[in-house]
């Protein structure tokens, strides 16, 4: 985020706070320690909430800010006059990873949420692998992995991660789509924020969530069958 010099102290403090929160988010996106995955997820989720709460005025006019998340991005609001005041640096996750500088607050918000959704997809795969490894070490009698979204209350699961990622992609597509197409980026099509690419990610997340749910149901049935066999087998 590129600062301007002719600002009041409170404005500079706000921009500094945004800068620090953004740097924290980008650093957490790069975390790969599976042993800290739960803590990273909690920190990342809170940092994104903090950043979006501070940054919303750069995207939507305060006179039309209705307070609610869905209301905030309704078709009746007006973009903020600060929308194109600052420039932000991003690289695409597909194609050539070339640094792009974009002067559009909607692209910034969409990119933050897009990368959060990608991180959740990556975390889901890592969680599944880690869970499988731990389970195989702790039990030789069964290879079932528990994908149940309610298996441990308060703990994220592959299913809940994929559902949340799908919701983020859908939110970007439905509420940011028309503004992204109007952005000053040379060509939004063929990039991460291409509506078709976002839609494809949304379908993928929903599909993988259903796959995890199917595996959970199969594992539950297998467990019930084994318990039934133990009860009916002669002692």
Characterize 48-77 residue by residue with b for buried, 16 or more Cβ atoms within 10 angstroms of its Cβ, and e for exposed.
beebbeebbebbbeeeebeeeeeebbeeeb
Residue 16 lies in a domain: yes
Question: What CA–CA distance (Å, rounded) separates 101 from 167?
Answer: 27
Residue 234 lies in a domain: no
Q: Whole-prediction pTM value? A: 0.78
Model confidence band, residue 11 (pLDDT cutoffs 50, 70, 90): confident
Residue 14 lies in a domain: yes
Domains in the chain, number: 1
Question: What CA–CA distance (Å, rounded) separates 2 from 89?
Answer: 9
Residue 113 lies in a domain: yes
Alpha carbon distances (Å) from 200 to 88, 107, 204:
25, 19, 6
Sequence-distant (6+) residues with CB within 8 A of 163 are: 149, 205, 206, 209
Phi, psi of 234 (to 5 degrees): -70, 140
Residue 158 lies in a domain: yes
Alpha carbon distances (Å) from 235 to 30, 153, 226, 230, 231:
54, 37, 15, 9, 9
How many angstroms separate the most distant Cα atoms in the chain?
85
Least confident range of 47-61, 77-91, 116-130, 154-168: 116-130
Residue 235 lies in a domain: no
CATH number for 193: 1.25.40.280
Residue 67 lies in a domain: yes
Share of the chain above pLDDT 70, in %: 73
Least confident range of 140-144, 163-167, 176-180, 194-198: 140-144
Per the structure, the complete domain to which residue 201 belongs is given by: 9-225
Query: Does residue 76 have a pLDDT over 70?
Result: no
Sequence-distant (6+) residues with CB within 8 A of 174 are: none
Outline where 139-194 has alpha helix (H).
Answer: 158-171, 177-181
Question: What CA–CA distance (Å, rounded) separates 56 from 181?
Answer: 19
Residue 2 lies in a domain: no
Residues 151-162, mean pLDDT to the nearest whole number: 72
Q: How crowded is the C-beta side of 125, counted as CA atoms within 13 Å?
A: 8
Alpha carbon distances (Å) from 164 to 94, 124, 157, 231:
21, 11, 11, 40
């Amino acid at each position: 985020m590129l600062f301007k010099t002719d600002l009041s102290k409170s404005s500079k403090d706000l921009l500094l706070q945004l800068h620090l929160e953004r740097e924290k988010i980008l650093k957490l996106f790069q975390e790969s320690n599976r042993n800290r995955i739960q803590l990273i997820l909690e920190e990342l989720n809170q940092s994104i909430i903090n950043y979006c709460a501070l940054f919303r005025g750069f995207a939507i006019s305060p006179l039309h800010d209705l307070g609610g998340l869905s209301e905030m991005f309704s078709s009746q609001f007006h973009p903020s006059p600060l929308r194109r005041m600052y420039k932000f640096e991003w690289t695409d996750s597909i194609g050539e990873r070339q640094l792009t500088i974009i002067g559009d607050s909607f692209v910034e918000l969409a990119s933050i949420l897009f990368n959060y959704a990608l991180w959740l997809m990556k975390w889901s795969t890592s969680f599944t692998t880690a869970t499988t490894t731990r389970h195989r070490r702790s039990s030789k009698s069964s290879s079932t992995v528990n994908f149940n979204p309610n298996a441990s209350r308060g703990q994220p699961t592959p299913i809940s991660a994929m559902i949340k990622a799908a919701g983020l992609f859908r939110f970007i597509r439905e509420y940011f789509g028309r503004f992204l197409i109007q952005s000053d980026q040379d060509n939004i099509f063929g990039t991460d924020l291409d509506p078709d690419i976002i839609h494809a990610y949304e379908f993928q997340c929903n599909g993988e969530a259903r796959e995890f749910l199917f595996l959970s149901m199969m594992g539950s049935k297998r467990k019930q069958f084994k318990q039934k066999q133990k009860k009916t087998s002669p002692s």
